[in-house]
Chain A
Amino acid sequence: MILQFFLRRLLFAIPMLFGISLVLFLLYNLVQVDPLVMIVGERAMDNPEIVAAAVQKWGLDRPVWEQYLTYAGNMLRGDFGSSFLTKRPVLEDLQLFLPATLELALSSLVFAIAIGIPLGVIAGVRVGGLIDRAAWGLSLLNASLPPFWTGLIFLTIFYYFLGIAPGPGRLDPRMAFPPRVTGLVTLDAALAGDWAAFANALHHLMLPTLILGGFTLALVLRVVRASMIEEMRREYVRTARSKGLPPRAVVVHALRNTLIPLVTLLGLAFAGLLSGAVMTETVFDWPGLGTYLVRAAANLDYPAIQGGTLLIALIYIVTNLIVDFLYGILDPRVRLA
């Protein structure tokens, strides 16, 4: 039953992805840019032999519709072409840049949940209390300050002046990266048993997590607080209280019911963390997906834009799927529908 549901949803994703790729292709062909600008260097442009070799290699002499059909056909076989800019297969590029983003997104999500839920609960139970007001201020600050600004300020204070945070990057400049297995430096260091690098990588995650996770934290806090306030006013809470349930148990009851909006939010937030961390990545020299895609867009690197956009679309589709699935677990009524 569940498997069927999953498969059906995944099958729907295929025409969606093709639709997206077609729209992107049409948009790209509206912009009058010669891909040779990216592929062939300034000097080599004068050598007809090199230009001819490039045109042939990249299929630029073929009609536009044929180019798309070839692309779509290759896509079905899992081949997303090669980037004009890096000359590497797009899939290889994405494998190279996604792990850095994933590591930062996961760490930000854990941070946001670990701090956001308890603070949200306390703020929602004791409305107007000290923690509520402090949390409100914190979330307002987080939601309104741009990450490239806070990033630079945090680096200046915590790295430059205080020296308690490391500089930008995923590891100290004088430290050797562990052998690449997953691309997540913390995990790779742990797998290699290199605990110095593990601790160092974790330390390097600290500031960007504070910045990136801070934004998600603010969202989590506000959602949990709002739903807590709502739940605490409900009749079942009153019933529970009147039958003498200890306050802590009452809160746990109410908390369970705030999880549905929270899961929706976290799903979207996680997908957002994966695709929209460009500013934080730039400030912290974090070689992630955002950096890759912005550069691809600035250089009109068509295969990279296509591949990256499809990946992000896929991330959103899969996250939505997981969220829907979690609804079923959290709320039996959804399963019946």
Chain B
Amino acid sequence: MMKRLFAVFALLLCLAVAGGISAQDAQSALIVATQLDDVITLDPGRAFETTNLVVHHATYETLLEIRPDDLVTIQPLLATGYTVSEDGLTYTFTLNADARFASGSPVTSEDVRFSWTRLKNIKGNPSFYADAVAAIDTPDAQTVVVTLSAVTPAFATIVTAPAMSILEKAVVVANGGTDAADADATDLANDWLSQNSAGSGPFVLTGWTPETEITMVRNDNYWRAPAALPAVTLRNVNDATTALQLLERGDVDIYENVDKDLAEQISANADLTLEMGQTLNLTYLALSPDATTFTTPLSNRQVRQAIAQAVDYDGIIDGLLLGYADRPASPLPIGVQGSDPAQRYERDLDAARALLAEAGYADGFDLTLYIGTGAPGGIPAETLAAKIQADLAEIGITLEINQQPTSNFLTAFRAQELPFLFSTWTPDYLDATMWSDYFSFADGGLSKRIRMDIPEIAAIAQQAAAETDAAARTALYQQYQTAHVTEAVFVPLFQPQLLYALRSSVQGFSFHPVYFLEFYTLSKG
């Protein structure tokens, strides 16, 4: 009996070893080692995480787009162009008559109306993209007339966001979708759209296995030149060292979000290429100016300015991020309209001590820094907090670090209970309002959470958001940055860069700060 058991066991083992040799097919597909644990759904009307963006960019298309090589120019995609009415409230898009979905059907104005109305009525996390849309008219199959509820110069940029993708109405409806007013309860297309796509992009989604992989194949009906890659697989790999091993052995072609400690090793390997992507993400320090609820010295502007001049920014970027980061002056990241790094704070301990003395805190004071868990922007929260603690100690501020699980931290942050913290902000589209809407007003966004009520900043933000003249708008955002620098309520710590390691056979890499990778332009030699 034991012998037989052994024989079976040995046979299975042989079979298992042999299995390693057979899997040599599908060599031409592109495999990306990444982390898929954030994916909840792949329905463009519901998804609001990170990984879904790269998938949606590959499988769907928007009316307009912003290319990775030019982040300021809005270019045509499904629409050949658009016009804006005199009062700024009506946008008229003309669709490209050649545009086809993967099914072969033409992209029509009704598909646009359906997609955006559905997005809005699902009342999901990405529904805010359609907030500005009051009505959509479709006078003919090629024309879409959008009426906005308020003047929103950012609208053309918002249209480029993956959440504003156009879905093929017939396919979505056939699989349970609806754009009805009660779509939040009656739309049943989520399951289908998480395993399939209904778009016009260069790839078609063929499956998603949670925490395992997302598979896409080339759309052979693509209405422009078809993609070079026959298939793309995003593969979940948790450990950084293992991801590099998979890449070095050629089991994967791209390793996304490379651990910065491995950068040197990758650069030294002739089979691999290291690529860098400058994100528009922000890791910031928030210092509440509120004096009615909070009783910290932070309500004194000079104290906030002193802290902004006490932080050792270069030490953080060079020491903790190995130099792979930039740093803007205000919440507007470098690359955004009106942002100019020249105005940023530099470390000046004498000036910081002088400001503290002037404010009446020559001997310093005690303060609590609230943080969550994880690694905001690439540095473990506790490491970054310890660095800030050491920096502030030099001007006499004794920092206590209060670390909680991120969900507890976010609960307290949203409940307006935290006067001093650091956190991150990532953009969903590239207009400056992506930042100014959230860092300015007493009644909304991150500014509300830390009880910031500074009418000057709010007024500029409001004016800039509604300014339709590009030059005047840039000038307003410059003013906005200056006001922020003076107030030192949100002090940027760094704007991280993402690293990608590629097999040298992979060509055509580009990086986009919203959707990251573009598979359409990639090829494998």
Contact = CB atoms under 8 A, between A and B. Distances in A.
B498 to A, nearest CB: 20
Contact of A174 (B17, B26, B33): B26
A300 B404 CA distance: 12
Contact of B123 (A53, A174, A176, A300): A53
Nearest to A201: B19
Contacts of A159: 245, 249
Contact of A33 (B233, B408, B444): B408
Contact of A199 (B15, B237, B405): B15
Interface in B102-129: 123-128
A156 B244 CA distance: 11
A170 interface: yes
A98 B26 CA distance: 29
B27 A34 contact: no
A32 B212 contact: no
Interface stretch (A7-15, A42-50, A63-71, A237-245): A42-50
B125 A43 contact: yes
A201 B15 CA distance: 10
Interface stretch (A226-234, A281-289, A311-319, A321-329): A281-289
A96 B9 CA distance: 28
Contacts of A41: 48, 125-126
Contacts of A34: 411, 414-415
A118 to B, nearest CB: 6
A164 B17 contact: yes
A203 B17 contact: yes
A112 to B, nearest CB: 12
Interface in A258-317: 282-283, 285, 287, 291, 295, 298-300
A155 B23 CA distance: 18
A181 interface: no
A202 B18 CA distance: 10
A169 B408 contact: no
B259 to A, nearest CB: 14
Contacts of B123: 49-50, 53
Contacts of B24: 174
A246 interface: no
A86 interface: yes
A85 interface: yes
Contacts of B37: 295
Contacts of A300: 405, 407-408
B22 A196 contact: yes
A317 B248 CA distance: 46
A53 B17 CA distance: 53
B19 A173 contact: no
Contact of A44 (B15, B29, B127, B249): B127
Which DSSP category, helix, strand, loop or mixed, fits chain B's interface?
A: mixed
A46 B444 contact: yes
B210 to A, nearest CB: 6
Contacts of B263: none
B505 interface: no
A46 B408 CA distance: 19
A50 B124 contact: yes
B6 A114 contact: yes
Given A87-B40, A166-B20, A174 B31 contact: yes
Interface string B337-349: 0000000000000
Contacts of A45: 414
A287 B212 contact: yes
Query: Interface residues of A toward B: which range?
Result: 35 or more
B382 interface: no
Given A31-B408, A202-B12, A285 B19 contact: no
A158 to B, nearest CB: 11
Interface string B194-213: 00000000000001011111
A47 B443 CA distance: 12
Contacts of A167: 242, 245-246, 249, 251
B2 A196 contact: no
Contacts of B407: 33, 37-38, 299-300
A4 B260 CA distance: 62
A160 B373 CA distance: 32
A85 B40 contact: yes
B396 interface: no
Given A40-B125, A49-B123, A283-B238, A177 B209 contact: yes
Contact of B212 (A36, A169, A199): A169
Nearest to A46: B444
A206 B16 contact: yes
A33 B15 contact: no
Interface string B7-51: 001001101111110111111010101000100110000001000
Given A31-B408, A118-B2, A173-B31, A37 B414 contact: yes
A193 interface: no
20 contacts: A34-B411, A46-B128, A46-B444, A110-B9, A155-B245, A156-B241, A156-B245, A166-B19, A169-B212, A170-B212, A174-B29, A176-B215, A199-B15, A199-B18, A285-B237, A285-B238, A287-B209, A287-B210, A298-B406, A299-B407
Interface of A: 31-34, 36-38, 40-41, 43-47, 49-50, 53, 57, 85-87, 96-97, 110, 114, 117-118, 152, 155-156, 159-160, 163-170, 172-177, 196, 198-206, 282-283, 285, 287, 291, 295, 298-300
Given A41-B48, A203-B20, 10 more contacts: A44-B124, A45-B414, A160-B248, A160-B249, A168-B237, A282-B238, A282-B239, A283-B238, A285-B238, A285-B242
